[in-house]
Amino acid sequence: MTLMSDEAVFSLEDIAKEVGGSVRGNPRRLVSGVTSPWSADASRITPVWEKKVLEGLPEDVPLLAPPGWIEPGRDGVEVQNPRGALAKLLTLFCKPRSFPPGIHPSAVVHPEASVDPYVHIGPLCVVESGAHLSSGAVLEAHVFVGENVKVGEGTRIEPMVVIYRDTVIGRRCLIHGGSVIGCDGFGFESLSEGGLAKIPQIGRVVVEDDVEIGAAVTIDRATMGETLIGAGTKIDDHVHVGHNARIGRNCVLVAMTGIGGSAHLEDGVVMAAQSGVRDHARIGRDAKVAARAGVTKDIPPGKIVSGFPARDHREELKVQAILHRLPDLVSLLDDLKKRVDKLSEQVKGNDS
């Protein structure tokens, strides 16, 4: 593998070894990055998994493509599943950021906080009393870490993140900018004399290992006990998780998903964009909730649901198909009504 100045440059042979493919054309040809078909150029490799994308691509653009797609005279790497190989390809060219251990002079770290010598604390961060930051943890900048918060080894927290008291963050997590973890759950009680009384929220949030939390995500602390995010779960931007919710291992919560208080998602659940689940509902293992669906009752394991209220996806598709035909059905009913009225008039005429 070759390095030139600050830019990573690899031969097609290097790339083939990395992704488990085979070279077509010149194995020593060098490429300096990855690009899409819509901005393709000869210096970077272009992954392709749809044949229609090949139309119009210049012949000098190297490809990552399925076997048989790279024509004679063009350079590239053949691999059975280009889409699956893309992550390895991007990792090859990804420049890891460096966060040397140390505390920036502008950071405020309470003397009773426990900070491993190999922690990076960036500009204007605040670490309060009793917080524990493990080896390799990174607070980039403007990060607030509250009392008794625990941050595991190798976890990176991006700018403007707020982590409230007692929260536990596991190892190798990544929390993107602007997220708030451990804020009060939304708990209020109606008063007999009118108005609402706030219910104290005395629980905490626990985020297990290898969790990624997107930008502007909010995860509420539990009223009592824990709000739990299971190991390996990936949360997209602008997601809200309510108090006492339990999210299982390796779940996927896509952008603008809302999880009601005390809802329970078992392992492997996928919540697509703008979907939601009501408080106290349970979604079974490996179930999938389609985009903009609203779960109002328990969903069995392995089910695919869509619509509002969420129901079996195939049933919902039938409903949607019928809804699209409503204008024609109304016209048909109008026509039938006219015919029936005409027949009724004829019967009355014959009777008279």
Whole-number Cα distances in Å, 51 to 36, 98, 148: 14, 39, 55
Residue segments in the chain with a per-residue pLDDT below the cut of 70: 1-7, 352
Residues 141 and 189 in one domain: yes
Residue 341 CA to its chain's centroid (Å): 58
Retrieve residue 284's tokens.
Answer: 């079974």
Note the pLDDT of residue 217: 98
Residues 50 and 126 in one domain: no
Residues 143 and 6 in one domain: no
Residues 168 and 56 in one domain: no
Residues 89 and 182 in one domain: no
Catalytic residue among 243, 280, 313, 324: 243
CATH of the domain at 115: 2.160.10.10
Note the pLDDT of residue 352: 63
Note the pLDDT of residue 56: 82
Residues sharing a CB contact under 8 Å with residue 285, sequence separation 6 or more, in sequence order: 248, 266, 267, 268, 269, 301, 302
Whole-number Cα distances in Å, 33 to 73, 78, 88: 21, 17, 13
Note the pLDDT of residue 139: 98
Note the pLDDT of residue 329: 85
* 120 catalytic per annotation: no
The domain containing residue 186 runs over which residues?
102-314
Count of domains for the chain: 2
Note the pLDDT of residue 343: 86
Residues 267 and 249 in one domain: yes
